[in-house]
Amino acid sequence: MGNRAVKPKKTVSKSKDSSEKRVPIFIMGKKYEVPESLTIQKALEYAGFQLIRGCGCRGGICGACGTVYRFPDSYRIEVGLACQTVVEPNMYITQIPFFPANKATYDLEKLEPTGSTVMALYPEIFKCVGCGTCTRSCPMDIDVMEYISLAIRGDIAGAAELSFDCVMCGLCTARCPAEEAQYNVGILTRRLYGRHIAPRAKHVAESVENIQKKRFDKGLKTLKSMNLESLKRLYNDREIEPDMADEFWEPEDKKYIIVQ
Amino acid sequence: MPYTSELKKLIKIVEKTRPERVERKKRGEEFPAMSLSEREKILKYHPDFKEEGRSEIKVGPNKGYRIANEMVELLHAKSRVNPDLIHLSRIDYETDVLVIGGGGAGTAAALMAQKTGVKVLIATKLRHGDANTMMAEGGIQAATKNQKDSIYYHYLDALGGGHFRNDPDLVETLVTEAPKVMAWLENLGAMFTKFEDGRMKSLHGGGTSRKRMHYAGDITGAEIMRTIRDEARNYPNDIKVLEFSPAVELILNDQGACGGAVLYNLETEEYIVVKAKATVLATGGSGRLHIQEFMTTNHYGATGDGLIIAYRAGVPIKFLHTVQYHPTGAVFPEQAEGLLITEKFRGAGANVLNIDGEQFVYEREPRDVEAAAFIRECTVRGKGVPTPTGKFGVWLDSPMIDILNEKGTVRREFPGKWILFHRYGIDITQEPMLVYPTLHYQNGGLEINRKGETVVPGLIVGGEVSGGVHGENRLMGNSLLDVMVYGRIAGETAAAYARKQFKDGKLTLNHVKRYNKALQDSGIDLDGRVAPMILPDYSNPDVRKKQLTTDYTGTLR
């Protein structure tokens, strides 16, 4: 008890100049005055909250900090990621750190990249009423309703492409009147696309074969047995692919290159 | 926040020098890269070389080793919980393989273990997938372009980047497994950026001799993480996940093997006992320790917990005297401070410039060299660009990319960064970004062999928490590769151990008691410190002063 924190020296509040203008925000309806340049996430910490839920990468990609807010004289529900959204005066904020969502289980290998696959795994997407709330709820500005309708129409590639920036924060799911879990549909279409539609990278399969057939073992053995001086020389003199070289550039020295 | 008028004036200087720089780039004329001896000279500006930033470890297997003060403070701290209070006979969960850490390495380990038919429990501090893997942007290295590249060159590049100090066996496994990892991920449906014929696009990273950085837009790590997490969720009966339950100690048994871990439920504040036949430790890095007060690109949970608990159990550490500072962290706008600006921008042709719009370093030096050059430019040379908050940065000239390639390249290749800056009123296709080195990666960590085994039987380690594969400096794209390669290997090794080598024994925390005693006997001023840290403390000290009835253990209430 009373143990001192082993704590990093750089905290939010210390880096804030006390003269900075404060603005009122309402965290779950309760008023706090916070420096105007803070993100919602840092404002919560400034107000005294210790974040456990609702905080992840602090960089806008993990989807832990989905947040909804409203202003007093507007009917609109606004959304954002707490780590990316700067506070505004009089915003009423709540985080939605978790929202239950249906996740189908499947063997990707056996699925076909079609609309009927999506329909079988997530039949509820046909309940979509076309209200567009999901799209308006997306902090990544993804046209969620559009990728769902592409999935329904069997355009798996289109749905995969359109949902690519999804951080799976779940705000669409929280607000959907048709009770869909759009983000899980999104990842299904992306995996279907990646596995079954996008053409395969033959060079990857070939390089795996080279390794399985141990075609490089001798080269690596030579490198591993080399003394430091020769290794450094070899490194210094190694041929560098030019920045502007195109995909099919080939080095002059091909001793350790194996083309099938 | 859009650029201030002062910064806009400085951007005009960048615009003035740009056409000539673009022409030079087109002609293939680069700013001269440094020789090995020039690199050595500039590295004295790197934070690793600040002696006052380090101190000596006084207890445990690496007694006498000097590493960052912030890490030593945690190693010189007692257990969060009195080991005598834990009832090891009351087991809350029992499993074949316990995976500590739900990031890239942990999830890959879980998937490989599951394949062999064992039951897996993942325990993770925050949510499944909340990890540095999710935040990795630029790409993953693998020698797959056979007409120009091979694992021979990948090996050589990794070794040169790591100052030739890397563990050769670990590097050999890393580069050899790399193409298999790419095939595995492609099979799982990860959407790598490809040409129409299916060839994966690939770029240079700092210190690579061939373009072997495969990527998925500028969210490569997120794409890999969400794909393998989705796959893990396809086996809900075999792979169980305990979220918000970080490990605070490893449990050993009377055979001297690892027998599981003590977890802490962050919400109900209970301590939980997990018994496991084999344990995979994949807790990731430690950027949130803010070494030398640097900002960080790391995840909220990156506090080095795994290092601490494994060190107490007797696992030595390696290469922790070096820490990676990513050369290009955002310094403007303030809200984006510390955020990673992927090296891919430099791989795609963006120059790095000082306040006069001049190049001062080749933009693709290995990361430690590049970061040291930025620091020298902003400090001793006084040519940094001042920010409104009193910091300094250098320009990263992103608009060049569209000019060198075609209009729309930046938006297509860097959608994540484009939208982030766009939200703050900055168009990175027209205006450069202001950057400075930021704490990025724990180069070193726990000692492992090429199967991920440690000196403690049944304790297998994979990913950023391990040390050796990157030597003293990791190259871009070798971290996603590391977590995938060694995560997968850790899962296989752990599953095999659980099936064939495991011997049951009485669970014990005696090693923790011994460590606590060694600390006490060493005469170190413990000052009530506890570790692991679990979460950093970003709370407001003024609020804490008024929490008159609240107790904190470490950083947590």
- Are residues B146 and A199, on separate chains, in Cβ contact within 8 Å? no
Find the helix packing angle between B478-496 and B168-187, rounded to 10°.
90
Cβ count near B254 (within 10 Å): 13
Question: Within chain B, which residues score under 50 in pLDDT?
Answer: none
Asked if B175 and B158 count as a contact pair (C-beta separation under 8 A), the reply is yes
Active-site annotation holder among B18, B326, B440, B488: B326
* Four-residue CA torsion sign, B144, B147, B149, B150: positive
Min distance A96 CA to chain B CA atoms (Å): 14
The pLDDT-based confidence of A231 (bands split at 50, 70, 90) is: very high
Residue A10 pLDDT > 60:
no
Q: Which of residues 507-546 of B touch A (CB under 8 A)?
A: 527-531, 533, 535-544
Chain B residues inside the 8 Å CB shell of A60: 339, 416, 420
Query: What are B141's strand-pairing partners?
Result: B213
Residues of B in contact with A194 (CB under 8 A): 186, 188-192, 227
User: Regarding beta strands B120-123 and B93-100, do their DSSP bridges make them parallel or antiparallel, or are they unpaired?
Assistant: parallel
Q: Which domains does chain B have, with CATH numbers?
A: 5-30+324-440 (3.90.700.10), 78-323+442-508 (3.50.50.60)
Q: Where are the alpha helices (DSSP H) in B263-413?
A: 305-312, 344-347, 367-378, 399-404, 409-413
- For chain A, the C-alpha Rg in angstroms (whole number) is 26
Contact B288 A52 (CB under 8 A): no
8 A C-beta contact, residue A58 and residue A83: yes
- Judged by a CB distance cut-off of 8 A, whether residue B422 touches chain A is no
pLDDT score at B521: 94
Looking at B80, B346, B364, B488, which residue is catalytic? B346
Whether residue B326 lies in the annotated active site:
yes
State the CATH architecture for A22-95: Roll (3.10)
Q: Which residues of A touch B535 (CB under 8 A)?
A: 50-52
Q: Check CB contact under 8 Å for B538 and A12.
A: yes
| B214 classed as catalytic | no
- Helix and strand numbers, DSSP H then E, in chain A: 10, 5
pLDDT at position A11 is 40
Quote the minimal CA–CA distance from B156 to chain A in Å.
6
Q: Chain B residues with CB inside 8 Å of A202's CB?
A: 198-199
Take residue B537 and report the two structure tokens written for it. Answer: 């403390």
Using H for helix, E for strand and C for coil, what is the string for B49-104? HCHHHEEECCCCCCCCCEEEHHHHHHHCCEECCCHHHCCCCCCCEEEEEEEECCCH
Contacting residues of A for B519, CB less than 8 Å apart: none
The residue to which tokens 């320790």 are assigned = B289
Contacts of A162 (CB under 8 A, 6+ apart): A142, A143, A146, A147, A150
Q: Residue A16: which pLDDT band, with cuts at 50, 70 and 90?
A: low
Please identify among residues 433-492 of chain B the ones whose CB lies closer than 8 Å to any CB of chain A.
Answer: none
| Token digits of residue B543 | 């609020």
Residue A1 has pLDDT above 60, yes or no: no
Q: State both tokens at B97.
A: 């393989």
Domain extents for chain A?
A: 22-95, 108-197
- Under the banding of pLDDT at 50, 70 and 90, the label for residue A259 is confident
Cβ-contact B340, B134 below 8 angstroms: no
List, for residues B125-176, the tens digit of each pLDDT value: 999 999 999 999 889 999 999 999 999 999 999 999 999 999 999 999 999 9
Distance from CA of B91 to the nearest CA of A (A): 26
Residues B341, B347, B352: CA angle, nearest 5 degrees: 65
Give the CA-trace dihedral at B239, B245, B247, B253, to 10 degrees. Answer: -60
Scanning B301-330 for CB atoms below 8 A from A yields none
Please give the pLDDT value at position A14. 45
CB contact under 8 A, A165 and B419: yes
CA B215/CA B194 separation, integer angstroms: 9
What percent of the residues of chain B are helix, what percent strand, and what percent coil, each to the nearest 5? Answer: 35, 20, 45
For strand B258-264 and strand B352-353, is the pairing parallel, antiparallel, or unpaired? unpaired
B/e letters for A191-216, b = 16+ CB within 10 Å, e = fewer, are: bbbbbbebeebebbebbbebbeeebb
The predicted pLDDT at position A9 comes to 42
DSSP string, A40-57: HHHHHHHHT---SSS-SS
Partners of B78 in beta bridges = B530
pLDDT band, very low/low/confident/very high, at A17 (cuts 50, 70, 90): low
pLDDT digits (tens, 9 = 90+) for A83-137: 989 999 999 999 999 999 999 999 999 999 999 999 999 999 999 999 999 999 9
A189 backbone dihedrals φ, ψ, rounded to 5°: -65, -35
pLDDT of residue B478: 96
